[in-house]
Chains A and B, each alone.
Chain A
Amino acid sequence: MSALSYTRDRRNRGLWIALALPGVIWLLVLFVVPFYVMLSVAGGGVNEFFQTVVPIWNPLHWSSWNLSAVWHEIFGSGSFIGPPALRTLIYTAIATVISLAIAYPVAYFVSRYAGRRKTLYLVLLIAPFWVSYMMRMLAWIDLLQQGGFVNSTLSFFGLPGNTNWLGGKSVTVIFGLVYGYIPYVILVLYAFLDRIDQSMLEAARDLGLSKWRTFWHVTLPLSKPALIAGTFITALPMLGDYYTNQLLSGAPGTTMVGNVIEGQLDSPGEVGQGAVLSLMLLVVLLIPMIYYVVSTARASMENA
């Protein structure tokens, strides 16, 4: 048998399919079907007596009852979901910008200047990635509580030290989002920045560009894919986050879309609306998700 024919041989195709099959079935049954169920619940009705969900499996019979209810809650007067939706966008935007602003210099430094200490830096940057999200939030709950370190440090410096940081402050929630997701941004930025060809930067300097102009005209354009990936890696989970907010605030004044979905799933009669809201979030996120998936797939194709 010639060398080339081994992987391309049609007779082997059965083997490759068999190897992939368990994973394929798992993905179809537990990733594709669940979203069909979500559609059926969203297009379904409610049993008036038991307040239970009645999914409608035939797409031709789907009703828009839940959709119009949710639509009214978002855009109608005195809406209940509108403010959390807007708040989610604002929180995510601010937290993403702050994350990138902190992560970029750190990742840039480690990828370009760490030299022989690179391993040490990488260990320290990867460490939070291995610490559970819950632990990292718990740590800040300890520090931010009324008698905690943050307040006692503030009063040590003569500042007001009795702030109730955990009592529903937007600042605390945004801070928590940044703290929670920044390790991922740094790793993604590092992975991209580390691949930038240093000779490009040297060429720019050799040709007479100043340090800042090299950064502005060469480094920054080259880091554009890194910044885009970093934005996705933080913004996508932040938009579906409910626990950061619940842990660090729990007050209605900081409710995000994730909390609304959470609440609807827990209350009888509103599960269908929770499904609609989840699908709406999915539709909004589909464009960035498709962009990310296509660019990832293209990158892996190019490598192949």
Chain B
Amino acid sequence: MASTVGDPVTTSSASAGQEKLTSRGRPRGNPWRRPWAMEGFTWLYIVWSIVPIAIAVLFSFNKGSSQATWQGFSTKWYVGNQVTSVLHNPSLHQAVVQTLVLAVITTLICVPIGVGFAIGIDRWRTRTANGLNILMIFSFVIPELLLAVALFLLVTQALTFIKLGTPAEVAGLVVWNISWPAIIVRARLVSIGPSYEEAACDLGASRLGAIRRVLLPLLAPAIFASAVLVFASTVDDFVIVEQLSSTANTQPMSVLIYSNVHAGLSGPALNALATIMLVLSLAAALIGYVGYRWMSRGERSKGSADALAGIAGI
């Protein structure tokens, strides 16, 4: 991006000759001057967006039971406290397990069917395929509450064999997240083009062989990025799991935090739980970033910014 702007040094010195007499000794209105105000504003935003979270993480290590007054470092809310630490409190403990179970199962179902959907729709190329693709994009933009309410009514009024709890939660999370692999893999398919696969077929590969040996390796970075996104967004999901969970046993971390902020369990144990969620998501992001760069190594113009954009789904 910076390279397209041109070399700032030569450009400004070229125009400096005519505008030498400006008061500050450099051309007025130099377009490549550092925009200090915007840079400062950006940093203010970054501080505002990150510092509160850092404080919340810090207080998960508080010795006392306050979320506002620092009373010394301790890990009691994670492991030490026999009653309300994440390790020993059954409901907190259960919430961590449930979050992981949902994230793993959802990712394992969602990514394969999403990738299949992307390839199939991309090659099918009929009106029906376009319609189905639009349906998929709708599942991406619909407000989560509306989907969650509809799913709740589905499993309580119609398909009652899908029980509220883990089965309903997984069913809902898969449909809510299927657009990640479908959109990301489709975009990658479009940029790859059909020529590699056609070459493989011309050289004697079978149709499935071409997909398995040529297409899937080329799609690997996109598939991987979407798996990371599905995993992280399942860990962070709240609305669908809240509507579709049944007993306390099927409440993941987000729901437990929500229902305990104003009543019941509170204090640093909730911060500890939220911090565990944070670590899970950030670990997924880190693995995603490293994996994406590794898988797309050797490709032109795949800098770190592209890899970051890839795992953020933009």
A residues in contact (CB < 8 Å) with B: 1, 3-4, 6-8, 12-13, 15-24, 26-27, 29-35, 37-38, 40-41, 53, 55, 102, 105-106, 108-113, 115-116, 118-119, 121-143, 145, 147-149, 152, 179, 182-183, 187-188, 190-191, 194, 198-199, 201-202, 205, 210-211, 232, 236-237, 239-243, 246-247, 250, 258, 261-262, 265, 271, 274-275, 278, 281-282, 285, 289, 292-294, 296-297, 300, 303-304
Q: Is the CB of B119 within 8 A of A37?
A: no
Closest to B304 in A: A119
Q: Is the CB of B207 within 8 A of A15?
A: yes
**8 closest Cβ pairs, A-B complex:** A20-B120, A23-B117, A240-B143, A34-B150, A19-B120, A132-B236, A139-B56, A240-B145
Q: Which residues from chain A contact B258 at a C-beta distance below 8 Å?
A: 134, 243, 246-247
User: 30 A-B pairs, CB-CB below 8 angstroms?
Assistant: A4-B198, A7-B123, A21-B120, A27-B139, A30-B175, A31-B139, A33-B158, A35-B150, A102-B45, A109-B42, A113-B35, A113-B39, A119-B304, A122-B305, A131-B281, A131-B282, A137-B261, A138-B274, A182-B49, A187-B312, A198-B4, A210-B29, A240-B144, A247-B258, A265-B243, A275-B149, A289-B138, A289-B141, A294-B134, A300-B187
Closest to B54 in A: A139
Determine which of A138, A239, A265 lies in contact with B143 in the assembled complex, contact meaning CB atoms within 8 Å: A239
Q: Which residues from chain A contact B235 at a C-beta distance below 8 Å?
A: 132
Minimal beta-carbon separation of A290 from chain B (angstroms): 9
Return the CB mask of B133-149 against A: 1 if under 8 Å, else 0.
Answer: 11111110111111101
B59 within 8 A of A: yes
Q: Is the CB of A119 within 8 A of B308?
A: yes
Q: Is the CB of A281 within 8 A of B146?
A: yes
Q: Is the CB of B29 within 8 A of A211?
A: yes
Q: Is the CB of B312 within 8 A of A145?
A: no
Minimal beta-carbon separation of B187 from chain A (angstroms): 7
Determine which of A130, A182, A297 lies in contact with B130 in the assembled complex, contact meaning CB atoms within 8 Å: A297
Determine which of A22, A55, A140, A293 lies in contact with B116 in the assembled complex, contact meaning CB atoms within 8 Å: A22
Q: Is the CB of A198 within 8 A of B5?
A: yes
Q: Is the CB of A149 within 8 A of B257?
A: no
Q: Which residues from chain B contact A250 at a C-beta distance below 8 Å?
A: 262
Q: Is the CB of B124 within 8 A of A20?
A: yes
Q: Is the CB of B274 within 8 A of A27?
A: no
B16-24, B78-86, B189-197, B219-227 - interface stretch? B189-197
Q: Which residues from chain B contact A41 at a C-beta distance below 8 Å?
A: 153, 157
Q: Is the CB of B277 within 8 A of A132?
A: yes
Minimal beta-carbon separation of A300 from chain B (angstroms): 7
Report the count of interface residues on B (CB-CB < 8 A): 113
Minimal beta-carbon separation of B91 from chain A (angstroms): 16
Given A34-B153, A303-B190, check contact A133 B50 (CB 8 Å).
no
- Complex Cα gap A183–B45 (Å): 10
- Complex Cα gap A6–B232 (Å): 36
Determine which of A15, A40, A137 lies in contact with B208 in the assembled complex, contact meaning CB atoms within 8 Å: A15
Beyond the given A15-B207, A275-B149, could you list 16 further A-B residue pairs with CB under 8 A, ordered by the A residue number?
Answer: A21-B120, A22-B112, A22-B113, A23-B116, A27-B132, A32-B135, A37-B157, A109-B38, A126-B308, A143-B55, A148-B68, A232-B141, A236-B143, A274-B149, A293-B137, A300-B190
